[in-house]
Amino acid sequence: MPLIRSVFQDELDGVSQTLLDLTAMVCTAISEATTSVLNRDLTIAEKVIETDDRIDDMQHELDGRIITIIARQQPVATDLRALVTALRMSADLERMGDMAHHVAKITRMRHPETAIPTELIALIKNMGETALAIATKMGQVIATRNVDLALEVERDDDEMDQLHRQLISTLIAPQWSHGVESAIDLTLLGRYYERFADHAVSVSRRVHFLVTGNYS
């Protein structure tokens, strides 16, 4: 029995490590997607789009591995909760990769022009930096299972919501002079960053549930 438990623990540790690997990938993806859209950099945008395929593949492999572990080991109590929670977290991480992908696609769609008027560069840059900071802290939550840090992620998301509201207010203001197409691009960009952060909050809530048995 001790040997069987040791093998099972190695499998659980492998699941946790893959979640951390996915986190690192989505952090890089959102950072590079932001760089691409701010700098009209098509090369970086294409890299982000290609990376999303690898994120999808890793998520699918992880889900298959978790299902196999559940079927073979028939875990109960905390172990089962950890594996089911990991399944849901992997889905959130995959969606975060999708959001970075969508940001990069706006870069590609508007290249060689820019999707961001000069007066909104600082705001979009701030949204990108906030998204990266939230995702980075989410990774720390996964690694440490620190419930206080998990609650911080939810509070940090308030900053993203505020930036999103600021962007929408600018787009609907009478002074807006860049046309409908630009407004649509920026509405989508704002939504992608806002959803990226929401998925990070979801992951952190799942860690909180894993540790405490209660959602934050």
Q: What is the mean pLDDT of residues 80-107?
A: 97
- So what's the pLDDT on residue 8? 85
Q: How confident is the model at residue 73, as a pLDDT?
A: 87
**pTM beyond cutoff 0.85:** yes
pLDDT, tens digit (0-9, with 9 covering 90-100), for 180-194? 999 999 999 999 999
Q: What is the pLDDT of residue 150?
A: 96
Helices 179-212 + 121-144 axis angle, to 10: 20
Mean pLDDT value of segment 5-18: 88
Tokens standing for residue 41: 């950099």
* 29-78 tens-digit pLDDT: 999 999 999 999 999 999 999 999 999 999 999 999 999 999 998 888 88
The distance of Cα 159 from the centroid of its chain, to the nearest Å, equals 16
Mean pLDDT in residue range 138-164: 96
> Burial level of 111, CB count in 10 A (0-12/13-18/19+)?
middle
Going along the chain from its start, the domains and CATH numbers come out as: 2-212 (1.20.58.220)
pLDDT at 130 over 80: yes
